[in-house]
């Protein structure tokens, strides 16, 4: 594993509307992913009110721990936007009229078909020795300051997500490369996606030394997912190092009992994998959905190109639809109930015949909170499948609330479809 330390970034999210629940922050989640791809590490994320004392305190804490500080929010023209003045005061700078900033603001306004005048607002009054950046998706200029004494870079962007993401990608990252080019590294991850085995069983029963074995390659983390556990190994280096490390990790996993539970080395969403495989093999498919109400079909049709292989779906929520449309036998429903492997298989077989597709998968379960029984509690789902050579069904039990369970049921159905196609 590389011993080089990545650049550290602290983020400060400024805005009363975030803390009082009126708005949900999206910028922190986006920034963490963006920074990782660029070889930087998000050290901390602070949420504070639009208050000068809180901004000062957050700046002090962030600068102690990180090379770069990025803020979002509080750079607009209204009285509650205090970031610019607070930054100037923090670094002992005066606010002065700046013609270069006025040009940037003018261009920002022209981009939106508007005219800016000095009487409109005080955007052009700017801290001394600070650099303004364009705002490709907004009006307020970005505010940046590099301190050569401490080798720290501070960048203040807008709170609106579409503006923040663009200004970071286009303007702020260019400054990061300017000041820290020699320290930029490539971050990589090898993601081992498993299903059918809980976290405790993986690390305490199946593979007791796996965590320490993987730590040879990088930082290890274990993350629950809708249908299983993702084991993530993070490291930095060049592309060759990444490919070699990934192969060593795969070889290690292949030698353990966990190998049979791995369905992907990577982080491609399951719906994308299903569509990719179906397009590669030029096969058609569809879904018969009861408790998921069309969610699985929706996940496929969210993707461009799905019309080439996805024939469609049937939402058979009521038993009458299962009988009349999917041709599930009435005696099967009476004997074992709608949530059963027998009904799930008949649903899949019936759908494949109805849609004339190569593969069909069905979902019938209990998402709750009502409807469960001691024999079939909430979280029980039967998933059926039918292909050119065989058909069948499997029974699963998942934890979670109604919305989470629908998502779990749907992703498991997609995984079974992926296995069918492969």
Contact yes or no for 410/402 (Cβ under 8 A) = no
- Span 59-88, average pLDDT: 91
Give the pLDDT score at 183: 85
Q: Which residue has the tokens 């002065």?
A: 96
Chain center to CA of 42: 16
Tokens in use for 338? 């709608």
Interval 254-308: pLDDT, tens: 999 999 999 999 999 999 999 999 999 999 999 999 999 999 999 999 999 999 9
**Are the C-beta atoms of residues 326 and 314 closer than 8 Å to each other?**
yes
Assess whether pLDDT exceeds 80 at residue 232. Answer: yes
Query: DSSP assignment, residue 315?
Result: E
Q: DSSP letters of 95-138?
A: EEE-HHHHHHHHHHHHHTT----TTT-STTEEETT-EEE--TTS
Mean of the pLDDT values across residues 73-83? 83
User: Which one-letter DSSP state was computed for residue 258?
Assistant: G
Q: Residues of the chain with pLDDT > 70: what percent? A: 98
> Which pLDDT score, from 0 to 100, does residue 184 have?
84
Same fold flag, 187-265 and 270-421: no
pLDDT at 2: 43
pLDDT above 70 for 7: yes
pLDDT tier for residue 3 given thresholds of 50, 70 and 90: very low
For the record, the structure tokens of 215 come out as: 């730590």
Share the mean pLDDT of the chain: 95
Q: What is the DSSP letter of 5?
A: P
CATH topology of domain 270-421: Maf protein (3.90.950)
* pLDDT score recorded for residue 79: 63
End-to-end alpha carbon distance in the chain: 34
**Residues 393-417: what's their mean pLDDT?**
97
For residue 186, what pLDDT band results from cuts at 50, 70 and 90?
confident
Indicate the fold that domain 187-265 takes in CATH.
Alpha-Beta Plaits (3.30.70)
Q: How far is CA 68 from the centre of its chain?
A: 24
Report d(CA 326, CA 316) in Å as an integer.
8
Q: What is the pLDDT, as a whole number, of residue 77? A: 85
**Residue 250 CB coordination number (10 Å):** 15
Provide the token pair at 195.
Answer: 């299903």
Residue 185 pLDDT: 79
Per-residue pLDDT band for 191 (boundaries 50, 70, 90) equals very high
Both tokens of 74, joined, read 């509080």
φ, ψ at 260 (rounded to 5°)? -75, -15
Question: Is 343 in contact with 288 (CB distance < 8 Å)?
Answer: no
Say what the pLDDT of residue 6 is.
75
Q: How many CB atoms lie within 10 A of CB 129?
A: 14
Calculate the alpha carbon distances from 12 to 61, 69, 83, 157, 173 in Å. Answer: 10, 8, 11, 10, 17
**How far from the centroid of its chain's Cα atoms is residue 132's Cα?**
31
pLDDT, greater one: 16 or 79: 16
Rounded alpha-carbon distances, angstroms, from residue 22 to 19, 28, 48, 207:
8, 17, 14, 45
Look at residue 1 and tell me whether its pLDDT is greater than 50: no
pLDDT digits (tens, 9 = 90+) for 266-281: 999 999 999 999 999 9
Least confident residue range of 16-30, 71-85, 155-169, 233-247: 71-85
CATH number of 7-183: 3.40.980.10
Our CA angle for 93, 161, 50, nearest 5°, is 45
Is the separation of the CB atoms in 97 and 124 below 8 Å? yes
Average pLDDT of span 377-404 = 97
Please report the pLDDT score of residue 4 as a whole number: 53
Q: At what angle do helices 402-421 and 270-281 cross, to 10 degrees?
A: 20
Q: Are 70 and 12 in contact (CB under 8 A)?
A: yes
Dist CA 126 CA 109 (whole Å):
17
Run of H or E residues at 260: none
For position 80, what pLDDT does the model report? 67
The domain locations on the chain are: 7-183, 187-265, 270-421
CA pair distance 160, 170, nearest whole angstrom = 16
Report pLDDT for 182: 84
| pLDDT classification of 366: cutoffs 50, 70, 90 | very high
At residue 99, the pLDDT reads 94
């Amino acid at each position: 594993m590389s011993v080089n330390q990545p650049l550290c970034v602290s983020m400060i999210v400024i805005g009363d509307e975030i803390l009082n629940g009126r708005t949900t922050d999206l910028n922190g989640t986006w920034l963490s992913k963006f920074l990782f791809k660029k070889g930087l590490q998000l050290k901390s994320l602070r949420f504070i009110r639009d208050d000068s004392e809180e901004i000062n305190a957050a700046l002090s804490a962030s600068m102690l721990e990180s090379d770069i500080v990025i803020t979002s929010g509080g750079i607009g023209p209204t009285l509650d936007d205090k970031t610019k003045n607070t930054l100037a005061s923090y670094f002992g700078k005066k606010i002065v009229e700046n013609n270069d900033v006025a040009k940037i603001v003018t261009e920002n306004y022209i981009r939106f078909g508007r005219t800016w005048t000095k009487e409109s607002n005080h955007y052009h009054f700017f801290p001394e020795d600070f650099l303004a950046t364009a705002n490709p998706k907004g009006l307020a200029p970005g505010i940046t300051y590099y301190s050569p004494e401490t080798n720290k870079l501070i960048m203040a962007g807008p709170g609106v997500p579409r503006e923040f993401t663009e200004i970071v990608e286009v303007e702020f990252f260019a400054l990061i490369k300017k000041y820290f080019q020699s320290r930029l590294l490539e971050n990589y991850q090898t993601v081992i996606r498993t299903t059918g085995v809980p976290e405790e069983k993986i690390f305490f029963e199946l593979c007791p030394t796996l965590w320490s074995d993987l730590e040879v390659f990088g930082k290890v983390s274990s993350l629950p997912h809708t249908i299983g556990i993702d084991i993530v190994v993070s490291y930095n280096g060049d592309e060759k190092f990444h490919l070699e490390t990934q192969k060593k990790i795969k070889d290690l996993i292949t030698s353990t009992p966990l190998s049979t539970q791995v369905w992907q080395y990577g982080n491609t969403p399951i719906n994308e994998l299903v569509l990719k495989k179906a397009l590669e093999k030029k096969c058609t498919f569809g879904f018969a959905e009861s408790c998921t109400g069309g969610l699985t079909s929706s996940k496929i049709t969210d993707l461009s190109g799905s019309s080439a292989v996805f024939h469609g779906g049937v939402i058979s929520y009521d038993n009458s639809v299962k009988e009349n449309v999917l041709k599930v036998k009435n005696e099967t429903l009476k004997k074992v109930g709608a949530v059963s492997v027998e009904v799930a298989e008949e649903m899949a077989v019936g759908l494949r015949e109805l849609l004339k597709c190569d593969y069909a998968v069905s979902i019938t379960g209990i998402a709750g909170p009502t409807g469960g029984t001691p024999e079939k509690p909430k979280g029980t789902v039967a998933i059926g499948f039918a292909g050119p050579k065989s058909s069948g069904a499997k029974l699963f039990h998942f934890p979670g609330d109604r919305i989470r369970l629908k998502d779990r049921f749907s992703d498991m159905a997609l995984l079974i479809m992926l296995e069918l196609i492969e």
